């Protein structure tokens, strides 16, 4: 089992300034799944069924150069690690590179086995090596034992299942407005009702015995199954419109944790250009898909992707 690559300048920027800070907010422990063509950072696909799942996918060219991988499991390798330790190693390497006035050699990453201090058993590490003109730094990030063949198959099956998209997605271009609303909601209650319609409406509501707080985003861009809103709904309240749409089969509603919803919004640290919200068939989960554009264009950057799946606390209506 071997893995070795150079992290490109673009890869360092993506990891250091965008994705690792965002993924660090999702949870401490993450799986890195490496294949011949892709690198995946995965949260909670094999653990914590009631936790938020996040899937960050990169084509190898988006992060690496001179990418080499081999294993007996069809050249697939996966292991768990502490994201904060990886982020610290990357940032330390960046500081070494930037401190070299004449520049430094590229950042190399590889899988190694080493004998830790006061131990008699070699342990696996993800090693980062930076060589400059005046200094060289090697940083070892401890990782779990690589997954077995059966565990890899289980991880691949979970990843395939997590790629299923809702039939209706609505685009939310202003994540800051959504974040501000959820920040206010966090002090009201723990459960958030989310309904999404084929008309392009996203309705959020939190209720307690003393107060009901809600927000509605209307006429959003719809991807997938869509429908025309009835004219008679024009003068109705947001809650009534949402209830009617659900009864007509034009909307779905689920209940999720306010904490999970707020945590998913931390993905704004990855600097997406917009986000899509959708509810899986039978209300299985709330899906948030973050879209990235090629810099300077409005074209989707297909080399990187990020989406979250929030567990549903109540089946809701569909």
Q: What is the mean pLDDT of each run of 10 residues along the chain (318 residues)?
A: 94 95 94 97 85 95 96 96 94 76 73 87 92 76 96 94 92 85 84 94 88 88 93 83 91 94 93 95 93 92 96 66
Q: Domain 2-161 classified CATH 3.70.10.10? A: yes
CA nearest neighbour of 109 among 30, 35, 9, 5: 5
| Contact predicate 212/258, CB 8 Å | no
Q: Tell me the C-alpha distance between 25 and 43, whole Å.
A: 11
| Contact predicate 216/238, CB 8 Å | yes
Those residues whose C-beta lies under 8 Å from the C-beta of residue 65, and which sit 6 or more positions away, are 5, 6, 7, 8, 106
CA nearest neighbour of 159 among 147, 170, 171, 167: 147
Tokens 């919200």: give the residue: 277
Those residues whose C-beta lies under 8 Å from the C-beta of residue 291, and which sit 6 or more positions away, are 272, 273, 274, 275, 276, 300
Q: Tell me the C-alpha distance between 66 and 24, whole Å.
A: 27
| Contact predicate 30/43, CB 8 Å | yes
DSSP at 32:
E
| Contact predicate 124/112, CB 8 Å | yes
CA nearest neighbour of 266 among 203, 190, 175, 152: 175
Output b/e per residue, 109-125; b: 16+ Cβ within 10 A: bebbeeeeeeeeeeebb
| Contact predicate 83/68, CB 8 Å | no
| Contact predicate 241/233, CB 8 Å | yes
What residue spans in the chain does CATH classification 3.70.10.10 cover? 2-161, 168-311
The SS3 assignment for 71 reads coil
CATH classification code of 168-311: 3.70.10.10
pLDDT the model gives residue 59: 97
pLDDT the model gives residue 130: 86
DSSP at 75:
T
pTM (2 d.p.)? 0.91
């Amino acid at each position: 089992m071997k893995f070795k690559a150079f992290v490109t300048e673009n890869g360092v920027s993506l990891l250091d300034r965008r994705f690792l800070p965002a993924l660090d907010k999702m949870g401490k422990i993450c799986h890195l799944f490496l294949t011949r063509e892709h690198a995946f950072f995965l949260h909670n696909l094999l653990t914590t069924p009631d936790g938020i799942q996040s899937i960050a996918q990169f084509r190898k060219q988006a992060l690496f150069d001179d990418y080499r991988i081999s294993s007996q499991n069809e050249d697939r390798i996966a292991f768990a690690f502490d994201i904060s330790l990886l982020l610290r190693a990357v940032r330390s390497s960046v500081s070494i590179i930037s401190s070299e006035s004449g520049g430094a050699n590229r950042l190399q990453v590889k899988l190694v086995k080493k004998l830790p201090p006061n131990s008699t058993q070699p342990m696996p590490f993800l090693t980062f090596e930076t060589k400059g003109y005046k200094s060289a730094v090697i940083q070892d990030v401890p990782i779990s034992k690589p997954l077995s063949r059966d565990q890899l198959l289980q991880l691949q099956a979970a990843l395939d299942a997590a790629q299923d998209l809702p039939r209706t997605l609505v685009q939310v271009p202003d994540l800051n407005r959504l974040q501000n609303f959820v920040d206010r909601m966090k002090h009201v209650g723990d459960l958030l009702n989310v309904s999404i319609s084929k008309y392009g409406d996203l309705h959020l509501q939190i209720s307690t015995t003393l107060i009901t707080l809600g927000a509605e985003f209307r006429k959003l861009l719809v991807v997938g199954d869509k429908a025309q809103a009835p004219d008679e709904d024009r003068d109705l309240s947001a809650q009534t419109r949402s209830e009617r749409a659900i009864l007509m089969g034009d909307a779905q509603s689920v209940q999720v944790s306010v904490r999970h919803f707020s945590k998913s919004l931390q993905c704004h640290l990855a600097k997406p250009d917009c986000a899509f919200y959708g509810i899986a068939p039978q209300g299985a989960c709330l899906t948030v898909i973050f879209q990235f554009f090629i810099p300077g264009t409005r074209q989707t950057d297909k080399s990187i992707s990020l989406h979250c799946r929030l567990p549903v606390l109540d089946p809701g209506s569909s």
